[in-house]
A and B are shown apart, each in its own frame.
Chain A
Amino acid sequence: MTGSVKSHIKQAFPAMVIVLIMVIGTSIASEGFLTIPNLRNVMTQTSILIVIATAQSFALLTGGIDMSISSVMSLTTIITATFSTHGTFGLLSAILLSIIAGGLIGAVNGTGICYYRIPAMIITISTQVFVKGICLILMPSSGGKIHPGFVRFMRIKIGMFSMPFIIAVCFCIIAFFILHYSRFGRNLYAIGNNELYAEQSGINVKNNMISIYMLISITAVMAGWMLAARIASGNPLAGDSYTMDSIAAPVIGGISMNGGLGTVVGTFLGSVILSLINNIMNNLGISPYFQYIIKGSLLMVSLMLFQFRRKKVL
């Protein structure tokens, strides 16, 4: 833990406290909570969100946002479901195709932001609905089949952990190292802190931004594979619910919407909080519709918490 990492992790402190309180509170309140199947369940449910929220964190750290990741996830489930029915070769081609598609969408986002100076939110909303349209043409309603081996692989359980959760944790650790111990990550934080100064310091902001948005989309593709394995089919709307959550998780975890502050540790905790809310409400038998209100309010409150008194950039 050297350098600025400490202060970035400090941002996640409130989220840590919330997670602790929630875990302790619910284990006292409900007996069923601290059982291995339930915990494994919570972790599995979080895993996709962790990956997609980590992708979103990259965008937020540059001071931008990526709304298109949900559609990229849906598109990936469709591509996977369409091709992977044809054996191993099909699975491989599906993987390759979805990465290419994701990379392309990311490149469009990045180019729009850097070269046409379109606000990140707007260009990514545009690509989001555009890709959603493509999804609906390719597969108007849920269908297709996912390679059974792939599905089985994703359902492997090791002790109390499930495969998706292990992947998500590994992913988070890799993201952490990229952010804090690579030149790429350093440039990302510098751009998020101040784009102009970064340019003056000799960082190629445009190239970096395009690679960042491509990385985000490709990460979303990975989340898409996980989602495809879970629902075992392709679905043009499967990813939609992740847009809001992918923003809420990093914000709850203390990543600043203005960029340059916070880390994926916070994103991880934020994702866990969101999943715990689901789980607790299920256990208590509360209408799942309350989730919407709670998530919306949580997002607003954490925004106010971390945003207020900061300078507005947008």
Chain B
Amino acid sequence: MKKIKFLIRYNDFPFGIYILLILMVATFLIFTKGTVSPMHLLNIARAASPLGIVAIGQTLTLLVAGLDLSLGTQMSLVNLVLASMMNGNSDKTFVAILISLTLCAFIGMVNGIVITKFKMQPFLVTMAMSLIIQGGYYIYTKGIARGSIAREIRYLSEGWIGNIPVALILWIALWLICSVILKKTVYGQKLYMAGANKKASDLSGFRSDRIIISAYVLAALLAGIAGILLSAYIGVASVDIGNSYTLDSVAASVIGGTSFLGGVGSLEGTFPGVLIITILSSLMTIIGISEAGKFICQGTIIAVMVALSQLRTKERR
């Protein structure tokens, strides 16, 4: 018994959040009075995939003691670029994807460089960046979204392999890859260290700035992929479609135990965090306050989770 207690205490694995997830699923099933089939649940997971992928990126930035408030607008940007370039045709699919991801990587790099080299607050830099991106795509589209996504791309969201949606497979694959990178590689561990204590990381001879910049680039790339998936789901161009994903990704990360102070948290927590957020918004839709409810949930979750983690660190000291 003592050993189990010990295991829970010092293990990085976030047990609490999985228990919460089970409770949430149970509530959802009770609430819908059993009218929900496993297919429904899989569909919910399918719809959650874009958030799942962008939340991986947000967790990375949080782990390096940062924050990226431009991830949502990056998703919107990708949607508009893809739709306008493809315009329903599949000829330019590859080029469109390449351009979108390059754009994202570039944005992420600018974010990272400005934050590290000028020592500026991440949230301000990325907020200003999101404004610039927004302005950029408004000018590009002149405010009216045009174009649609090629059928081949839509397979990413519509397709099923056996009984499992392709989107879900993509999400889980990316999640596994990133988890392994974080947990098992030297790079991943250095990322944790740069976030936990940048000064100590510098003094250990690590080039922390580069590590932090790379985290922002990775986050941006993941936002790009999430944007592609979201476009596949929507099928057409739509202005500002990804913007609400910014705060959702932050909420999913912090509910999964990732701290704003850096170096604490894991993708094992973010995964159920995404599902919880998604189930919550499904519940809100059933009650009939989808948009409002979503905002209320985001606000409450972020405030409560951060307050809890602050109280816990206080205790530890």
User: What residues of chain A have their CB less than 8 Å away from a CB belonging to chain B?
Assistant: 112, 116-119, 121-123, 125-137, 140, 244, 247, 257, 287, 289-297, 299-300, 303-304, 307-308, 312, 314
Of A119, A129, A132, A292, chain B has the most CB atoms within 10 Å of the CB of: A129
Once the chains bind, are A292 and B307 in contact (CB under 8 Å)? no
Q: Closest A-chain residue to B284, C-beta based?
A: A133
- Identity of the chain B residue whose Cβ is nearest the Cβ of A310 in the assembled complex: B119
Interface membership of B197, Cβ < 8 A: no
The 6 closest A-B pairs by CB, nearest first: A292-B135, A130-B299, A133-B295, A133-B296, A136-B292, A296-B131
Prevailing SS type, chain A contact patch: helix
Pairwise interchain contact B128-A296, C-beta atoms closer than 8 A: yes
A144 to chain B, nearest CB (A): 17
16 more contacts with CB within 8 A, not counting A112-B307, A118-B310, A294-B135, are A116-B310, A118-B306, A123-B306, A126-B306, A132-B292, A132-B295, A133-B296, A137-B289, A140-B291, A244-B127, A247-B127, A257-B124, A289-B135, A293-B139, A300-B114, A303-B120
Distance from B314 Cβ to chain A, minimum over Cβ atoms (Å): 7
Complexed CA–CA distance, A303 and B115 (Å): 11
Is B14 in the interface zone, CB < 8 Å from A?
no
Specify the chain A residue showing the minimal Cβ separation from B121.
A314
B86 to chain A, nearest CB (A): 23
Contacts A244-B131, A292-B138 given; indicate if A117 touches B310 (C-beta within 8 A): yes
Contact partner, A127, options B135, B247, B294, B303, Cβ 8 Å: B303
- Chain B residue contacts of A295, Cβ below 8 A: 131, 135
B residues in contact with A117, CB < 8 Å: 310, 314
Task: Assess whether A304 is in contact with B139, with CB atoms less than 8 Å apart.
Answer: no
Contact residues of B between 259 and 317, Cβ < 8 Å to A: 260, 289, 291-300, 302-303, 306-307, 310-311, 314
- Distance of A130 Cα from B121 Cα, bound (Å): 24
Interface class of chain B by DSSP: helix
By a CB distance below 8 angstroms, the chain B residues around A112 are 303, 307
CB distance from B118 to the nearest CB of A (A): 5
Contact between B295 and A296 (Cβ–Cβ < 8 Å)?
no
Known: A117-B310, A123-B303, A299-B131. A308 touches B291 (CB 8 A): no
B296 cross-chain contacts in A, Cβ below 8 A = 129-130, 133-134
Q: Residue-by-residue, is B40-82 near A (CB-CB < 8 Å gives 1, otherwise 0)?
A: 0000000000000000000000000000000000000000000
Contact A312 B119 (CB under 8 A): yes
The A-B contact count (CB < 8 A) is: 133
Contact status B131-A130, CB under 8 Å: no
Are B294 and A292 in contact, with the CB atoms below 8 A? Answer: no
* Residue in B135, B143, B289, B311 whose CB lies within 8 Å of A290: B135
Given A129-B247, A137-B289, the answer on whether A299 and B128 have CB atoms closer than 8 Å is yes
Tell me whether B211 is interfacial, beta carbon within 8 Å: no
A136-B291, A137-B289 known; A304-B135 Cβ under 8 A = no
**What separation, in Å, do the CA atoms of A207 and B313 have in the docked complex?**
23
Contacts A247-B124, A303-B120, A304-B118; is A133 near B299 (CB within 8 Å)? yes
Distance between Cα atoms of A127 and B123 in the complex (Å): 16
A129–B138 contact, CB under 8 A?
Answer: no
Contact B124 A116 (CB under 8 A): no
Is the beta-carbon distance between B260 and A119 smaller than 8 angstroms?
Answer: yes
Residue B100 is within 8 A (CB to CB) of chain A in the complex: no
* Contacting residues, chain B, for A291 (C-beta < 8 A): 135
A72 to B311 alpha-carbon distance, docked (Å): 28
Please determine whether A116 and B302 come into contact, CB atoms closer than 8 angstroms: no
Task: Let me know if B125 is at the binding interface, CB within 8 A.
Answer: yes
B62 to chain A: closest CB distance in Å?
11
Query: B108-130 interface mask toward A, CB cutoff 8 Å, 1 = contact, 0 = none?
Result: 00000010001111011101111
- Indicate if B95 sits at the interface (CB-CB under 8 A): no
Contacts of A300 in B (CB 8 A): 114, 125, 128-129
Q: Out of A128, A247, A289, which one reaches B139, CB within 8 Å? A: A289
Given contacts A133-B292, A244-B131, A287-B142, contact A116 B118 (CB under 8 A): no
The interface centre, meaning the residue of B121, B123, B131 with most chain A CB atoms within 10 A of its CB, is B131
Closest to B254 in A: A122
Q: Given the complex of chains A and B, what is the CA–CA distance between A95 and B170 in angstroms?
A: 52
Closest residue of B by beta carbon distance from A118: B306
A238 to B117, CA, bound (A): 36
Residue pair A122, B302 in contact (C-beta under 8 Å): yes
- Evaluate contact between B121 and A293: CB separation under 8 angstroms: no
Contact of B138 among A116, A135, A140, A289 (CB under 8 A): A289
Q: Is the CB of A293 within 8 A of B135?
A: yes
CB-defined contacts of A247 to chain B, threshold 8 Å: 124, 127
Q: A289-B143, A297-B132, A300-B125 are in contact. Are A127 and B299 (CB under 8 A)?
A: yes
Bound Cα distance from A303 to B122, whole angstroms: 12
Q: A304 to B120, Cβ gap below 8 A?
A: yes
- Could you give, for residues 85-116 of chain B, a 1 whenever the CB lies within 8 Å of some chain A CB and a 0 otherwise? 00000000000000000000000000000100
Is B136 in contact with chain A by the CB < 8 A criterion? yes
Q: Which residue of B lies closest to A138 (CB)?
A: B292
A118 touches B307 (CB 8 A): yes
Known: A295-B131, A299-B131. A129 touches B119 (CB 8 A): no
Cross-chain contact B306 with A308 (CB below 8 angstroms): no
CA distance A307 to B120 in the complex (A): 7
Q: A34 to B129, alpha carbons, bound, how many Å?
A: 34
Chain B hits for A293, CB < 8 A: 131-132, 135-136, 139
Evaluate contact between A126 and B138: CB separation under 8 angstroms: no
Contact B295 A136 (CB under 8 A): yes
B109 to chain A: closest CB distance in Å? 15
Chain A residues contacting B299 (CB-CB under 8 Å) are: 125-133
Tell me which residues across on chain B come within 8 A of A294, comparing CB atoms.
135
Residues of B within 8 A of A128 (CB): 299
CB < 8 Å neighbour of B311 from A116, A126, A257: A116
A300 to B302, alpha carbons, bound, how many Å? 26
